[in-house]
Structure 1
């Protein structure tokens, strides 16, 4: 049986895609989702799971799931494969290999595309792991996504993801600033976004402004802007020892200061 832990903005549509694809899949979340196949009782979930997709928020929740209060290392005796889908520090992810029993296959499989891509089953996966393990995983991942990039050994998928999200955070910060300045100048937002889509300023947030769920949000700890702030921190944790971190830190503080855009 396949289990999805963390059935929020990303996990819930991923679970739906797995179930619609004909797999025997169930979910687990600490918040009641009012769905018969998503459990809040761990013991209705853990003993049945053989393949786990972990899509919880951060490293603390991952630790709780795998080793802490939920402790799937003990409560899921049939577990043989784990996909780490959350965006976490690559350093933390690499260290998981020494903490998880050797008989359990570990694949880092963070996703890109936001909630809209999860709902449309067009996610992009950045993958780290042995080639044979990745080859075996692709048919399952194809139920949820369209693009699969094997970046190297375990941990390299996460390394690629945090660098990708660092760019996404910079696009978010600058696109929102540009739109605010356009407002002040009396420039029509829709016309400007149409221009950006066909010009040198083109970027993912601007091109998907009407469909990306967090494009107009302000910062909150539990929303996608808050998660993006967390993702920049994950990138900074994996920065080269002598790297200049000043620009990523400015981007992080800028998106933390965002207010809702109407």
Structure 2
């Protein structure tokens, strides 16, 4: 499905910045360009910058050069610490503040980090919203991602035409930080479902039941999930394991869930065990491997033993 693109006559934000041009940022930049926006991007990697420039996007070397040109800037960065550095660090967005610009963080980050940065941006006349995404690199390049959004009603309404060029679904969850709470919850579900699906399919195979038919039965019943309906046929059963999302990134997101749980003063034993299993998986499944490999937990020798 291709999302509806904005009427070019109605576009008042004409130039959009994208900071972070990796798997997701590259796709978002190209979707924005296809949607009729001028895009100015940058990345810490000169090779990544050169690669996107070859695809026709205007690429510059610094955040300052991005900020000089744009009405809205999209962040697609791997960690909350890097988001903080890009926004509030030396040579970052705040040092190059431009009144009225909205900063849209599509990363999976900590809601407290987002809220603190939003206050700093507000002090220099800028605004922030969190719009973490689902859909992977394919969703980014096709503009079919889903976004869960934390923003004021006014900022969401102003930014939505830009977000629409990058996504097929947008759910406004609440104020700043709410989008990151929702994304952490979403990824915790996925992390949990993959662990359970890996164990359930091994149980069925050991009992002599073909896994393909087991999944057909589950997907016809109440146990189905995105993992059983999509992840297994797309990346697991065919052995491809090429979703574009790594073990390292999912481990980071699961850690974020535990930080959030602690911050709000809860003791959640099941999700705590999920987090422990994801952390322990580093002994057998490397950071660079596809995150769906977690279904193989317990089937490999430890790297130390090997």
For Structure 1 versus Structure 2, the TM-score category normalised by the shorter chain is 0.7 to 0.9
Residue number in structure 1 paired with 2:52: 35
Residue number in structure 1 paired with 2:268: 245
Question: What is the aligned counterpart of 2:159 among 118, 137, 145?
Answer: 137
Residue number in structure 1 paired with 2:199: 177
The answer as to whether partners of 2:143 and 2:168 remain within 8 angstroms in 1 is yes
Unaligned residue ranges in structure 2 (runs of 5+): 1-14, 286-292, 297-306
Which secondary structure state, in structure 2, belongs to the residue aligned with residue 66 of structure 1?
Answer: helix
Which secondary structure state, in structure 1, belongs to the residue aligned with residue 176 of structure 2?
Answer: coil
Instruction: Tell me the TM-score normalized by structure 2.
Output: 0.74
Residue 18 (1) aligns with residue 32 (2):
yes
CA distance in 2 between counterparts of 1:176 and 1:27 reads 39
Which secondary structure state, in structure 1, belongs to the residue aligned with residue 40 of structure 2?
Answer: strand
Which secondary structure state, in structure 2, belongs to the residue aligned with residue 57 of structure 1?
Answer: coil
CA distance in 2 between counterparts of 1:212 and 1:83 reads 30
Which secondary structure state, in structure 1, belongs to the residue aligned with residue 159 of structure 2?
Answer: helix
The answer as to whether partners of 1:47 and 1:78 remain within 8 angstroms in 2 is no
Unaligned residue ranges in structure 1 (runs of 5+): none
Q: Which runs of 4+ in 1 moved over 6 A?
A: none
Q: What number of residue pairs does the alignment pair up?
A: 258
Instruction: Tell me the TM-score normalized by structure 1.
Output: 0.86
| Larger Rg, first or second structure (1 or 2) | 2
CA distance in 1 between counterparts of 2:160 and 2:70 reads 19
The answer as to whether partners of 2:258 and 2:275 remain within 8 angstroms in 1 is no
Residue 67 (1) aligns with residue 88 (2):
yes
CA distance in 1 between counterparts of 2:240 and 2:256 reads 23
Q: Specify which structure has the higher proportion of helix.
A: 2
1:1-262 equivalences under 5 Å are 1-31=15-45, 32-33=47-48, 34-36=51-53, 37=57, 39=59, 41-42=61-62, 44-75=65-96, 77=98, 80-102=101-123, 103-209=125-231, 210-211=233-234, 217=241, 223-239=245-261, 241-256=264-279, 257=281, 259=285, 260=293
Distance 1:13 1:211, change over 3 A: farther
Residue number in structure 1 paired with 2:12: none
